[in-house]
Amino acid sequence: MDIVHPPAEVPDTVSYRLKRSAEEFIERWRGWWQSKRFRLATYAVGGLVVLFIVFWALFARNLPDAEALIEYESPLPTVVRDVNGEPFHSYARERRVQLEYADFPKTLVHAYLAAEDKTFFSHGGIDYPGIASAIFDNMFSSKRSRGASTITQQVAKNLLLTNEYSYTRKVKEAILAKRIENALTKQQILSLYLNEIALGRQSFGVEAAAQAYFGKSVNQLQLHEMAFLAILPKAPERYGRAKNAVAAIARRNWVLGEMRANEWITEAQLLTARAQPLGLVTQRGTGYKNVGGYFAEEVRRQLIEKFGETDAAGPYSVYSGGLWVRSSMNPEYQILATKALRDGLLRYNAGKAWKANLGKIDVKDDNWAARFALSNIGIDYANWRAGVALGKGRVGFADGTEATLDGGPAAMKAGDVIAVAPNGINSFAVRSVPEVGGGMVVQNPHNGRVLAIQGGFDNRISSFNRATQAQRQPGSTIKPFVYATALDNGMTPTSIIVDGPYCVWQGANLGQKCFRNFDGGGAGPKTMRWGLEQSRNLMTVRAATAAGMDNVTDTFRAMSIGDYPDYLAYALGAGDTTVLKMVNAYSMLVNQGRELKPTLIDFAQNRKGKVIWPSKWVPCKGCRSPDWNGKPMPRFAAAGKQVMDPITAYQVVHMLEGVIERGTAVTLRELNRPLFGKTGTTTGPTNVWFIGGSPHLVAGLYLGFDQPRNLGGYAQGSSVAAPIFKQFARAAMADMPKTPFIAPAGTRLVRVDRKSGKRVYGAWPGNDPQNAVIWEAFKAETEPKRSIRQEELAAGAEKPKKEAETQSNTAGAVSAPSASVGTKRDREFIQQEGGIY
C-alpha cells in the first residue's frame, strides 16, 4: 500500500524579509546620494576600478609567469668529447657558458652594479627615482627613449618579454620585476642576468664574453677588463669594435669611477686600472682544436635525428639542450687518418692542372672580406690558408688583410677562392686543392666503435661526408663475402676454380653477359685462395654461380653491405655502398661473424650529468680503478647475433692475410705484423679501394671524383689506396702488440701445398710468404684426406736419403734436416693409425 505524504509547506517569510531589506537599502542609498561628498567618493572608487580593469587589460593580462624563472634553464650548446673525455667540438649558434653565482668574482659583480644598478640589493625591483628622471628626459627630448631599467627589469625583458622600445614594455617590465623579486632571491636574479646578458661577438653571459674579448675565464680577468665587460650591455656592437676604442675607454673609466664612489675599489686600483689599454683580442674561434670535423658533423646528424635541432623539439635539443656527448673518436687515429687521406689525395693530384674548385666571392667592392668570412671556407693543412684572389697579384683573407700573390695559374680569376701558402715576407704562393675526393673510416672490430672518420680533404671546403654519405661501387673489396658464401655452400679454400672465360645467359631482356679479369687473361684451374689473393674476377663469378647468387646477396644483406638483386655483376662490386658499411662488414669478419653496429656516440648526458642515451646505459664501476681490488674482472657478454659461421669468417680472414703476403696488397707486407685486407678497383677505373687491418683495428678508404669519371688507367687500389692505409697503419699500429688472428673453436689448420691445395706431409710452413707449404683453415671433415697403402710406405722407406734431400731442397719449403724430421713423424703417426687418416 502506497503512503501519500502531504505537500511540504513553503515559507513565505524569507522573500518578504529580503524584499523589505532591499527597500530599506535603496532608501538609505537615496539619502546618501544627496550628499555631494558621497557622490564624489563613489565616482572616485568607480574610476579606480575602471582604471584598474583597463590597466590589467592593457599591461598585466597574459604576462608570463615569473615563477617559471625558478626552473629556467639557459639555452646551452652541446659539447662533444673524444674517447679520452676531452672536448673537441660544440654545436652552438651563440657563445654561452653557464656559471653559478659563487663562480662570479665579487669585483665583477660590483662592476656591473656600478654600471647598471647601484641600488640593486636595496630596491624591490623598480628604481622609482630613475624612472621619474627617465620620463622627464624622454618628454623633452626627441632622441631615442632613455631607460631606467633595473637589473631585475632587464632580466624580465631578456627572458620574458620582447625587445621593443615603448612605454608599454616598460610598464610590463615593472610589473614583472615586482613578481620576479617575490619569486627569486637577489643572487638568483643576478645569476640569470650575468649568464644571459648579450655582450656582443655572439656572446651571451660574462664567461662567454670574457673568452671572446680577452681569451680568459672570468676568474682570470683584471679590474680594467671586468669594467670593460660591464659597459657592454648598453652598446656591445659599438664598444666591442677596435675603431671605437676611445669611447670604450671613456665609458670603462666612468664605470671604474662609479666603483670607487661606492668604495668597492681603492684609489690606487682606480688609477692603475684607468691607465690600462683595452687589450682586446681579435675575434676567436671556438677554442677547440680543429680535429675530427667530419666526425663531429656525423655525430650532429645523429643527435638531431634523436633529439631535434632547437628547443621547440624538446629539452635535449642539439643547439640549446646543453648536452655532453661522449664520442668514440680517438684523436690520435683521427689526426693520422686525416693526414694519410690528404697526402694520398695530394699525391694523386700532383702534376695535374690547377682548377678553381673552392668557390667564388664578389670582390667588386670593399665588402669582399665580410662576404668571404661568411662563406666559412678554411683549410687546415700544413701552413696553407684560404684566400680570395683580388686581381693584380693580390690575395685577400677573411680578416680583411691583403698580401702579395707570387705568380699564379693562368686560369685563376679575381673572386676565385684559392689555397695559398707563405712564400716569403707577406707573400703567398698558390696551392692546388685536389678535385678528387675520398673517405676513410677507422673502427674497432670487437665492438663496432668508430674511431675516426675523414670524409674529404677538409670539411670547411666541403661538408659532404664521403665516408658515410657517398654511395660508391666497392669493386673487388666485396669479393671476400662472395667466397664466404661459397665456403658455406660446400667449398673450401683449396677448392679448384677455373680462371677462364665465363659467359652467362641473363634472359631475353639482358642477353648474354661475359665476364673478364682485370688483365683480360686467365690462369686456368687455381685454388680459391689464389683467386682471392690475386683478385680474379672470373673465379669470383664462378664461385658465386656455384654457391647461388641468391645466397650471395643474402650474405651481403646479413653483413649490412647492401640490398642487391641476384645478378652476377653484384658479385664483382657493381652495387653501391659506403665506406662505413664496408669497414663494418670487414670488422664483422674479424669479430668471427658476429653482428656489429657502427657507433660514433658512447653516451649522451643532459646538462645535469644524467645519461639520457642510450636508455639502458649503465656505468662500469671500478673499470678505471688504478689498483686491482682482488675481485673478478668484469667480463662483457658477446653482443649481436651471429650473421656468419665463425669458422667461415676466420677462413676468409686467413685467406685475406695472403692478400698482404703475396697478393694485390703486398706493399703492406713490410709493416711486418699480422694484417688482412683487400684492394678494389671499379670499372674505369672510377673508384679505388682498400679495406683491412689487424685483429684490433680495421680501416678502409676509397678515392674517386664526386661525379664519377675515369681516374686514369694507372690508378688501382694497390697503387693508390693501399699506400694511404700503409701510411696510417705504420703510425697507428706502431705500439700495438703483433697479435695473430685467433681461430675459433673447431677450426682445423692443415698443411697444404699453396698452389695445388693438396695436403702436405713431411714439410712445414716457413717464414717466407712465397713458401710452397702453408697452413690452411678448414671446417671439420672438409680438410683434404689421404689413403696411403702399405706398399707406398715401403717404397718411400727404401728411397735414398740423398734423393729425399734433393727433393726437399728443390721444393724450397724447408731445409733437409727439418724435412727428415717431418717425414719420420708422419711415418710414426701413420703406422699408429693403421695407414689411413
Cis peptide before 614 (omega within 30 of 0): yes
Hey, which bits of 621-687 come out as E strands? 676-681
Evaluated on CA atoms 647, 652, 655, 657, the torsion sign reads: negative
Instruction: Write down the catalytic residue from 476, 560, 694, 718.
Output: 476
**CB burial of residue 706 (10 Å; 0-12, 13-18, 19+):** middle
**CB burial of residue 457 (10 Å; 0-12, 13-18, 19+):** buried
Q: What phi, psi does 421 have (nearest 5°)?
A: -135, 150
C-alpha cell at position 612: 639520457
Of 181, 236, 246, 180, the C-alpha closest to 212 is 236
Q: How far apart are CA 567 and CA 549, in angstroms?
A: 7
C-alpha cell at position 59: 599591461
Distance, C-alpha 288 to centroid of its chain = 14
If one counts every other C-beta atom within 10 angstroms of the C-beta of residue 289, the result is 14
Rounded to the nearest 10 degrees, how much is the dihedral formed by the CA atoms of 182, 188, 191, 196? Answer: -50
Cβ burial 802-832 (10 Å sphere, 16+ → b, else e): eebeeebeebebbeeeebbebbeebbeebee
Q: How far apart are CA 624 and CA 68, in angstroms?
A: 41
Q: How far apart are CA 323 and CA 314, in angstroms?
A: 12
For residue 184, what are the CA distances in angstroms to 187, 189, 191? 8, 6, 11
Instruction: Write down the catalytic residue from 116, 196, 258, 297.
Output: 116
Q: How far apart are CA 98 and CA 204, in angstroms?
A: 9
Q: How far apart are CA 760 and CA 754, in angstroms?
A: 10
The answer to whether the beta carbons of residues 440 and 672 sit under 8 Å apart is no
Q: Which residues have a Cβ under 8 Å from the Cβ of 231 and sit 6 or more positions away? A: 115, 239, 248, 251, 252, 255
Check if 116 is active-site.
Answer: yes
Q: How far apart are CA 812 and CA 770, in angstroms?
A: 9
DSSP string, 310-346: SGGG-TT-TTTB--EEEE---HHHHHHHHHHHHHHHH
Q: How far apart are CA 509 and CA 648, in angstroms?
A: 36
Which residues are the active-site residues? 116, 476
